[in-house]
Structure 1
Amino acid sequence: MATRRGFIGGASAVSAVTLLGSSTQASAATAQAATAETAAETQARAAIRAVNAGMRTNYATLKSDLIKRLSPVVVVQNDAKGGKFTLIHDGKQLETVNPVGEVFELAKSISHVPLGIFSVMAPYLSDKVPNLPIGSRIDPHDLKMVAFKGPATDGWIIPLQDYAATLINARQQLDKANLPPELVTSCGKVLDEAVAFIQASVRSKTFDMASFADFSAKVYPSIRTNMTHAAAAQIAGVEGVMNRWRAQIGEAAWKDLYTVVLSIWTTADLNQASIIIKRCMNAAKVATHLIDLPTVETPSDPIFVALDNLARIVQDNIAAEMVFPTDQKVADALKGKEDLLSDEILKQLGVPAGARTASTASAASACPVRKTAAV
């Protein structure tokens, strides 16, 4: 028997099923539409990315072909011997040499003694900025990063004694190295003072930056003497090989010489090899044909790295003038170190137009947090 309660209940159930079905169907339809829209968007964006991928493929093909044609090129790998130089002409590596005399390497080897001692001591320093004449130049956070062990432990003693043994052996052999007398004297002074400093520190089982500063001040004049000999040896060696190669390939080819100097970041500006090399190149082309290329570490194939980067630079130089012939500013950005977006980014960051240059952008757009923190 159908009661009112049963009828109403049944009707409500039917209505609920109907409404639920409609809602589920609507949700499914909406989901399908959203999925279709997402798929269309994904496909469209992939099509847009394909444009850049195609450009990069074409760019890489041009670069690969150009690498084989770059000539003449001198590639310089900075090393402890004053640089390894390779001459490339008409697609062939004609010669690779270390042209700098051994005096360069030997003089610099002894000049690095203070840095060798400091490298052992540094982790055990106090992380408080020392009261030194140039203490204000020391970044406190940088110091904390380097002095990560602190002075509470004497773990520095054994490695410093080991280094002292190396120094003593060099001092004992110094007179047999056939070095110029002035260089023997200066090297001897550095080694003697270094051993004395290490021995005193080990005896007292302590050191500080004040005592190290006293040591480095004593040996600095001798290090300057070593630098004089090293510089003279490098100038003679580099100019010698560059002049020989110039005569070998002829003036017509030499006037268009490219030189790529591979260095680490810390020696990229005023690189010692570049300073000498520019005197041996066509002065009118030094600005565009002498490339200082900082690297994170010595590449496994330095010749390829040099040519690969040089090809990119050369083709960008031409592309800049031909792709953007009506906008010299944009062309200059494409053919230089400035990113094409940099000017627009500086503009949106509120950097004044007069300050939007590669040399001032980093200072002008420094993080405001850092500006306010550095008080």
Structure 2
Amino acid sequence: MVELQAGRGEWFCALAWARLLGEQGRQADAMEVLAPYLATGWWTAVVTAAELLEGWGRVDEAIEITRVRMEAGHPMALESYTRLLARHGRAEEAFTLLRPHIGEPSLGVVLVDVAAAADRDEEAAALLAARTEHRCSDFPWCCRGLDRDTAIGLLATIRERQGRTDEAIALLRSGSTTLLNNREQLAALLARHGRLDELRATAATDDSRYAVQRLARLLEERGDVEGAIAAYRQADGPVAHDPNAAFELAQLLARHNRGNEAIDVMRVQADARNGDDWILHTLSDLCLDQGRPEDGLGHLDALAAARGGEEDWDLYWIRLPLIAARDGVDEAIAQARSHPEGATSYAAPHIAALLASAGRTEEAVAVLERHASTNSHDLAGYLIDLGRVEDALAVLQQRTPRPPELSDGPWHDDPPF
């Protein structure tokens, strides 16, 4: 079936079939499967074929098909081509090709990566140092996107690689205090080199949470769980302002069997951000994990009461696993169906999940079959669980794709089939 669909324009079937043939030593057959897709000039097919060829040891062919697309002008081909060259002993050539493109951020990153293999770190550093003198007047137009702070970050990468850690740190500290990328890079660098005191000092003044996150992770790895928790809970720290930092603290507490404290952390966030669904999901999951479904439901009930007793489905369904844990699956399903949106296509997957979790997969299928067109993947998954593979295929193949067609263009970003 996979082989058949591979020839009918089903790209993922073609990909799976080609990989399987390659594993069986049938490389020529694998390339024949991909040939119609490659003939369209579609970039995804080119990259895939190059990866397979490289994995089979046919490096020259991988380089060649990438080179052709590069010369045809595909904007992503130069990066793939030069990385391929660098991986296979031609880093000097790759660096030379990339050098004129130092002003393009994505290719600047590639040039820094390739410079090490080409033993041209100092040349790359000089190119970047020149960019650090530029002060943007109309970002990104005036510098094509490789602004001063981006150049500083890339230059710091080179200096760290050369063992010049202090210089790398000084560079990152000299950049803009508002650029998150450099602050994240600085925190990661300090953590990698175990510079705990400097990381603590950075965490105390950094409101981006990156330094705190790195500090907490480093302390946890060293067995200092209390220190990691304290890093998040420092006075006026990120947990007080950033729900993402609070989430990280809750996960840390839960990892160390302190789930009740984790619930308290997320309850504060849920109170402060009334109706923020991902926070409510996290709080509800923690309550379930701790065997406290009634507490999760209590918070959701209070939220609903604050809204006049009304709750849209996107918030209402969060309570269903909690009801199932406290009162049983049948009660959860009954309450779901009593909701004004309980009969909609977007409610069906949640009701089906309750049934499937109780081992009632056939009932889950029956619920989804009423809304098959909008829930095809969920429905197919349950059908497969029941061993009804042919039925699952029929659901997934409701739209018959066209076979690949040749194009006059040199390359494409969208599938031409």
TM-score, reference length from structure 2: 0.21
From the CA coordinates, give the structure whose radius of gyration is larger: 1
TM-score, reference length from structure 1: 0.23
